[in-house]
């Protein structure tokens, strides 16, 4: 494991073994810390009244995701996670939050009175269902057939991406182009819908 | 006590449920959108953990493809939210009841 020779982690391991605790690896320590951080970030995101705080919570979760990717030897994906998600996507979110206005707080009165408790009950039930299903072999198949180490360096990822998966990769290029064109179209046609009094230059 | 890929999948399930609950509870379109992102991230973590368990690098490739789709989705979705805001001056989905029968 990448972090297996961390001094801090080995110190914690010695501490744990001296006190007769279970054998704790460095990955366990890092996992527990960032699992708590990511879940806290998610809860902040859905709980915060201000959308900027929600974005900050999501940012916390995304950075801990990058840590989990590194723990799983997915180094390139971790770098992409930080650059694309934590960098570009969250910046875009913050841009739109600033554009729409951070000062308007959300009206928290529900139109359907029982929606919020029902949503929480449904969420808890779904979590229980997923965790129970994950324990059952008929859903997950017969696990633990390890085919060897996966090392997600740029070289290994590129070998597969530009070899076996070249056509799907080019399809994503088409998808991104369509998305960019669609965004431009939305930005172009929105002012006309508000009112034709200003006579924005878009013709029918 | 070592971390198996199952731990990551359990954590991903928790994060996914947090995102799904956020969509059900919140009324702000932007926060609902962030909840979708959280769910996508949880699924990405599952992909990476499963790829490590099976020993295939395709798990990480799936994550890259999901990221591309998510980027396209964010671009279009935020453009729609801004367009709606310019027209209706609100980001709350409760007030977008124009198609109510």
Instruction: Return the pLDDT at A202.
Output: 44
B21/A46 Cβ within 8 A = yes
Chain B residue closest in CA terms to A116 = B25
Instruction: Return the pLDDT at A5.
Output: 45
DSSP secondary structure letters along A139-171? HH-S-----------HHHHHHHHTTTTHHHHHH
Of residues B84 and A133, more confidently modeled: B84
Contacts of B46 in chain A (CB under 8 A): none
Contacts of B29 in chain A (CB under 8 A): none
Taking the CA of residue A187 and the nearest CA in chain B, the distance in Å comes to: 7
The domain locations on chain B are 5-95
Are B18 and A58 spatial neighbours (Cβ–Cβ below 8 Å)?
A: no
Beta bridge partners of B28: B92
Chain B residue closest in CA terms to A148 = B55
Contacts of A183 in chain B (CB under 8 A): 75-76, 79
A43-47, A151-155, B55-59, B88-92: least confident range: B88-92
Q: How far apart are CA A101 and CA A49, in angstroms?
A: 13
Instruction: Return the pLDDT at A102.
Output: 65
Evaluate if pTM is beyond 0.90. Answer: no
Mean pLDDT of A168-187: 92
Q: Which of B60, B73, B75 to mutate to test the interface with A (most CBs of A within 10 A)?
A: B60
Which residues are CB-neighbours of A156 under 8 A, at least 6 positions away? B57
**Nearest CA among B35, B94, B97, B36 for reference residue A47:** B35
Instruction: Return the pLDDT at A3.
Output: 45
The encoded tokens of residue B78 equal 């935020």
Q: How far apart are CA A38 and CA A60, in angstroms?
A: 6
**Residue B28 region, left (φ>0) first, then alpha (ψ -120 to 50), else beta?**
beta
Contacts of B30 in chain A (CB under 8 A): 51, 54, 93, 96-97, 100
Chain A residue closest in CA terms to B77 = A183
A122/B34 Cβ within 8 A = no
Of residues A21 and A119, more confidently modeled: A119
Mean pLDDT of A123-134: 84
Query: What is the per-residue pLDDT across A47-65, written as a single tens digit (0 to 9) for each?
Result: 988 889 999 999 999 999 9
B82/A190 Cβ within 8 A = yes
Contacts of B86 in chain A (CB under 8 A): 190-191, 194
Biggest CA pair distance of chain B: 57
Query: What is the per-residue pLDDT across A8-32, written as a single tens digit (0 to 9) for each?
Result: 545 545 554 555 455 678 889 999 9
Q: Cα-flanking dihedrals φ and ψ of residue B94, to 5°?
A: -70, -30
Query: What is the per-residue pLDDT across B59-101, written as a single tens digit (0 to 9) for each?
Result: 899 999 999 999 999 999 999 888 888 877 777 877 777 776 6
**Nearest CA among A25, A65, A145, A3 for reference residue B53:** A145
Long-range contacts of A198-204 (CB under 8 A, 24+ apart): none
Q: Considering the domain delimited by A1-103, tell me its CATH architecture.
A: Up-down Bundle (1.20)
B69/A172 Cβ within 8 A = yes
| Inter-chain Cβ pairs, chain A and chain B, closer than 8 A | 233
A99/B82 Cβ within 8 A = yes
Q: How far apart are CA A108 and CA A127, in angstroms?
A: 25
Query: What is the per-residue pLDDT across B34-55, written as a single tens digit (0 to 9) for each?
Result: 999 999 999 999 999 988 888 8
Binned at pLDDT 50, 70 and 90, residue A197 comes out as very low
Taking the CA of residue A172 and the nearest CA in chain B, the distance in Å comes to: 7
Distances (CA, A) of A182 to A100, A141, B66: 20, 41, 19
Taking the CA of residue B18 and the nearest CA in chain A, the distance in Å comes to: 6
Q: Looking at domain B5-95, which of 3.30.360.10, 3.30.365.10, 1.10.287.3510, 3.30.230.10 is its CATH number?
A: 1.10.287.3510
Complex-level ipTM: 0.91
């Amino acid at each position: 494991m990448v972090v297996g020779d961390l001094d801090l982690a080995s110190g914690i391991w010695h501490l744990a073994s001296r006190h007769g605790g279970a054998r704790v690896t460095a990955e366990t320590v890092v996992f527990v810390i960032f699992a708590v951080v990511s879940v806290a970030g998610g809860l902040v995101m859905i709980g915060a009244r201000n959308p900027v705080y929600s974005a900050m919570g999501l940012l916390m979760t995304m950075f801990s995701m990058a840590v989990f990717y590194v723990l799983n030897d997915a180094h390139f994906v971790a770098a992409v996670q930080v650059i694309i998600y934590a960098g570009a996507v969250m910046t875009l979110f913050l841009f739109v939050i600033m554009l729409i206005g951070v000062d308007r707080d959300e009206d928290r009165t529900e139109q359907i009175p029982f929606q919020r408790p029902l949503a929480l009950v449904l969420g808890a039930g779904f979590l229980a269902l997923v965790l129970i299903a994950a324990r059952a072999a008929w859903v997950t198949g017969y696990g633990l057939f390890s085919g060897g180490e996966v090392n997600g360096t740029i070289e290994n990822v590129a070998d597969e991406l530009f070899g076996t998966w070249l056509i799907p990769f080019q399809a994503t290029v088409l998808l991104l182009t369509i998305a960019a064109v669609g965004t431009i179209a939305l930005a172009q046609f929105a002012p006309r819908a508000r009112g034709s009094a200003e006579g924005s230059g878009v013709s029918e | 006590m070592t971390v198996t890929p199952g731990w990551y999948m359990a954590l991903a399930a928790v994060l996914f449920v947090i995102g799904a609950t956020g969509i059900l509870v919140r009324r702000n379109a932007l926060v609902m959108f962030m909840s979708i992102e959280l769910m996508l991230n949880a699924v990405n973590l599952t992909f990476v953990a499963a790829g490590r368990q099976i020993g295939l690098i395709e798990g990480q490739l799936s994550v890259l493809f999901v990221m591309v789709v998510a980027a396209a989705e964010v671009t279009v979705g935020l453009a729609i939210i801004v367009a709606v805001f310019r027209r209706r001056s609100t980001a709350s989905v409760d007030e977008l009841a124009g198609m109510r029968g």
